[in-house]
Amino acid sequence: MSRDALGEVVAELGERPYRARQLFEWLYQRRARDLDALSDLPRGLRSSLAERFSLRWPEIAERSLSFDGTRKYLFRLDGGATIESVYIPESDRRTICISTQAGCPLKCSFCLTGVAGYQRSLKTWEILGQVAAVMEDNPAAATHPDRRDEDPFPWNVVVMGMGEPLLNYEATASALRILMDPKGFALPPRKLTVSTVGILPALEKLAREDTPPNLAISLHAPDPGLRRALMPIEEKYPMADVLAAALAYPTPRGGRVTLEYVLLRGVNDTPAHARELARRLGRRRFKVNLIPLNPAPEIPFQAPRPGDVDAFAAVLVDAGVTVSVRRPRGQDILAACGQLHLKGPTPGSAVHA
């Protein structure tokens, strides 16, 4: 529930308005798991809340641990749907990749999530619950014991898991507001990134939010024709319109919008493709994140050769485009970009850690 919704509940129960603030902080800042833990709320209020509402988190059905320290979580949701989230530890930060839908309806041809099908959109609590559960499961004292407690050790949340977040706008936006609320999860906007193919009406709404997060656009081709062959959504929301909306987007601290580009061997990874991409972007306010394909048996493409990745990046750099290459994490457990998918837990293997 949002601040306003909690305020309405408290008013209906005849309590003073400040109780809504206390309740909000218990839910999202302290992340209580039980209504009885809300010790500074009157017992009668706690009883009334328990009669009307439940306080629960998504169930972790399975954990998988990669050789590189990446952890993948399989969550079982109401109605039998499942989603996957990923925790990526690094020396100077911790990143959580979360899902907004069980599966994905967009059917991008290089993405295992889309190939595996679609069940439903998530509710706000199911989106927030992924973040809360992964944070609780990975305290710094356990994952980075050499860090001093007083060291700033930021969390990053990337909405790049299963699904298209802007096709589930209301639940996603509600979750984003709570994640960035100083009395909620207190994530700085620059530490929160939403990835979208460019659902234009919703992207324009996101740009009008009081506190918009960072933005990443799934581009994956240098021209509309190839993008349409790889991503059917190009037919509805053309590349030129998506890039124009991205340029108008108010990024935190005036930063650049990221364009994500999965490299597929012999399909979109040649120097000619790079030159066309550079020509189309010019020197406008973008940075390009190159993502060598993370292969899976169901995906009909191959990963690019390392030399081709370097050559593609070099063409962009020579043209004045800011470029980064995403290092794959968790490939061995199908936790890397584009590898999350619908499935059930492995029988007899609730935890791999």
Give the three-class secondary structure for 11.
helix
Strands 155-159 and 94-97, bridge-based pairing: parallel
In the set 62, 84, 126, 260, the catalytic residue is 84
Give which of 27, 26, 21 is closest to 4, Cα–Cα: 21
- Rg of the chain taking only CA atoms, in angstroms: 21
Could you give the CA distance from residue 146 to residue 221 in angstroms, rounded to a whole number?
42
- What CA–CA distances, in Å, run from 117 to 19, 75, 111, 211? 43, 17, 11, 32
- What CA–CA distances, in Å, run from 270 to 217, 225, 266, 323? 21, 16, 7, 16
- What CA–CA distances, in Å, run from 62 to 87, 117, 194, 295, 344? 13, 20, 25, 22, 9
* Residue found by looking up tokens 């750099």 in the block: 317
Angle at 130 between CA 125 and CA 135, to 5 degrees: 125
The helix (H) or strand (E) run that includes residue 159 is strand 155-159
The answer to whether 337 is a known catalytic residue is yes
The answer to whether 84 is a known catalytic residue is yes
CB atoms within 10 A of CB 200: 16
Active site positions, annotated: 84, 337
